[in-house]
């Protein structure tokens, strides 16, 4: 990743994220000066979860640092995410720390606890009950047998050469050769990574069936009776008016919208597209639309488009000829638990994550991105098939176990028989309900604080 792109992206978690965290603590500090420690600590919990929730809901969203994500490496302990999602993990962390903090204050004889023994009991229960449930659930969980043969491909094409010195036809041949190396006659899905299908000038979605790329993929699929290719693609649409904020006029009354997209290709005449919705701020979209329009040249210099990519408002499911529903999750989108859950609620029986993690370089970012996919598997009880251009690709089962994975920066193709699932978890139904509840209590705490403060002011008068 070029240093200037890395610096810009790092501003969001390290500066903006720190500022938002500081606001949560500042609100707690102001409350602590006026109200009881119990009420102010409850406010702190609500403020923090509200910060995490709101930070995934605006144009500078970066939910990567949500506390509940930190358990991704210990997925055996958080099987209860199928009820709460990652915000349940964030609340768990805060409640444990608050109880420990209260015990510490009591030990220092600060008279904040009447019954420290009760707090100790609450702490033990809070640690033990979710952990024991999770271990039992993990040990006894059984998948319903509903097999489907999937291939995921890692072509290992340098992301900076992908749109330059590497011929698109050569890239396509690499994808097909790797696919054939592990494919079986009953393979139903070939998962190719983000922007795997590309050409100079991108593909017109209305005219894609007439392209050589489309016909080459169809010829490839003729060897697989039930085969489908789910692939990333760089595409665009043309309009006769400016119907979206991101559409740019390229000729009189001709507007063009570019997309970081996914497509599902099969041997029938049906062709499906999905447009990435959760776009990387600055690189893939102009934050806040026209409000900061004057920064277009800066975002363009950072590697993004001057108007940003177009997107769709909600996820959509790809359906194969045999009726299998697949969730086409593109890169950054896999960090949003509630967004991925919407695919599943619409009928997705497995999750296909297509990404290009080569921008990270050989850092922990690529590994964390893979680990976060385990959370999506647990929340929805769906297999995850992950295709990353330069790694790490692999398969994750419904318990969150990584069953197979590739090596970083090496071409690879993996095949796996997964189990499709149609059952809906509580989290899939409710999404980030805990985020909304926390936001309500945060607002309630602020209103209560100001009302009490106003009463004190009036009493002084």
- Distance, in Å, from the CA atom of 81 to the CA atom of 69, rounded to the nearest integer, reads 11
Report yes or no on 286 lying in a domain: no
Q: What is the residue range of 202's domain?
A: 147-277+312-422
Say yes or no: 389 and 448 in one domain.
Answer: no
Residues 112 and 207 in one domain: no
217 within some domain: yes
In this structure, the dihedral spanned by the alpha carbons of residues 168, 169, 175 and 179, taken in order and rounded to 10 degrees, is 160
Measured between alpha carbons, how far is 338 from 239 in angstroms, rounded to an integer? 31
Q: Are residues 211 and 181 in the same domain?
A: yes
Within-domain flag for 248: yes
The verdict on 56 and 86 lying in the same domain is yes
Count of domains for the chain: 2
Pair 172, 221 in one domain: yes
Residue 341 lies in a domain: yes
Closest CA to 193 of 157, 242, 222, 243: 157
Give yes or no: residues 264 and 369 share one domain. yes
Q: Is residue 338 part of a domain?
A: yes
**Residue 236 in domain:** yes
Query: Which residues make beta-bridge pairs with 148?
Result: 418
Low-confidence ranges of the chain (pLDDT < 50): 1-4, 299-306
Residue 302 lies in a domain: no
373 and 448 in a single domain? The answer is no
Residues 201 and 159 in one domain: yes
Is there a domain that residue 31 lies in?
Answer: yes
Q: What pLDDT is stored for residue 286 in this prediction? A: 73
Alpha-carbon distance 334 to 357, whole Å?
A: 13
* Cβ pair 158, 411 in contact under 8 A: no
At 304 the pLDDT is 43
Q: Both 119 and 97 in a single domain?
A: yes
CATH number at residue 203: 3.60.110.10
| Whole-number pLDDT of residue 163 | 65
Query: Residue 105: in which H helix or E strand, if any?
Result: helix 86-107
Residue 241 and residue 318 in one domain: yes
Residue 233 DSSP code: E
DSSP 8-state secondary structure symbol assigned to residue 281: B
Within 8 A by CB and 6+ apart from 209, the residues are 269, 271
415 and 445 housed in the same domain: no
pTM of the model: 0.92
Q: Are residues 341 and 242 in the same domain?
A: yes
At 384 the pLDDT is 98
């Amino acid at each position: 990743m070029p240093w200037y792109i890395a610096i810009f992206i790092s501003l969001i978690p390290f500066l903006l994220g720190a500022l938002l965290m500081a606001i949560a603590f500042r609100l707690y500090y102001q409350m602590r000066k006026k109200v009881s420690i119990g009420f102010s600590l409850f406010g702190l919990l609500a403020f923090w979860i509200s910060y995490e929730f709101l930070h995934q809901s605006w144009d500078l969203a970066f939910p990567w640092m949500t506390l509940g994500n930190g358990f991704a490496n210990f997925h055996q302990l958080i099987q209860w995410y199928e009820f709460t999602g990652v915000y349940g993990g964030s609340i768990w962390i805060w409640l444990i720390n608050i109880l420990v903090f209260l015990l510490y204050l009591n030990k220092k004889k600060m008279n904040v606890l009447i019954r420290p023994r009760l707090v100790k009991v609450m702490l033990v229960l809070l640690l033990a009950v979710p952990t024991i449930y999770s271990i039992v659930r993990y040990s006894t969980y059984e998948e319903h047998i509903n097999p489907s043969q999937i291939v995921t491909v890692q072509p290992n094409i340098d992301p900076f050469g992908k749109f330059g010195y590497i011929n698109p036809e050569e890239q396509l041949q690499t994808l097909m050769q790797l696919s054939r190396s592990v494919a079986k006659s009953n393979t139903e899905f070939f998962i190719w990574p983000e922007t795997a299908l590309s050409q100079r000038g991108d593909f017109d979605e209305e005219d894609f069936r007439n392209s050589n790329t489309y016909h080459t993929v169809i010829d490839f699929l003729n060897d697989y009776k039930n085969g489908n290719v789910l692939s990333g693609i760089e595409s665009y649409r043309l309009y006769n008016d400016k119907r979206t904020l991101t559409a740019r006029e390229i000729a009189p009354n001709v507007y063009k919208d570019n997309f970081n997209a996914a497509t599902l290709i099969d041997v029938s005449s049906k062709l499906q597209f999905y447009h990435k919705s959760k776009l990387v701020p600055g690189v893939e979209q102009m934050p806040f639309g026209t409000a900061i329009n004057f920064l277009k040249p800066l975002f363009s210099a950072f590697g993004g488009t001057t108007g940003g990519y177009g997107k769709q408002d909600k996820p959509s499911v790809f359906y194969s000829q045999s009726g299998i529903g697949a969730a086409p999750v593109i890169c950054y989108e896999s960090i949003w638990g509630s967004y991925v859950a919407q695919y599943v609620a619409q009928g997705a029986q497995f999750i296909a994550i297509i990404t290009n993690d080569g921008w990270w370089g050989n850092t922990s970012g690529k590994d964390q991105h893979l680990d976060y996919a385990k959370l999506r598997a647990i929340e929805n009880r769906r297999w995850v098939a992950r295709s990353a251009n330069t790694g790490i690709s692999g398969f994750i089962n419904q318990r969150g176990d990584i069953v197979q994975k590739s090596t970083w920066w090496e071409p690879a193709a993996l095949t796996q028989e997964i189990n499709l699932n149609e059952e809906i978890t509580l989290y899939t139904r409710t999404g980030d309900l805990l985020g909304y509840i926390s936001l309500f209590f945060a607002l309630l705490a602020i209103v209560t604080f100001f009302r009490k403060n106003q009463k004190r002011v009036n009493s002084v008068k």
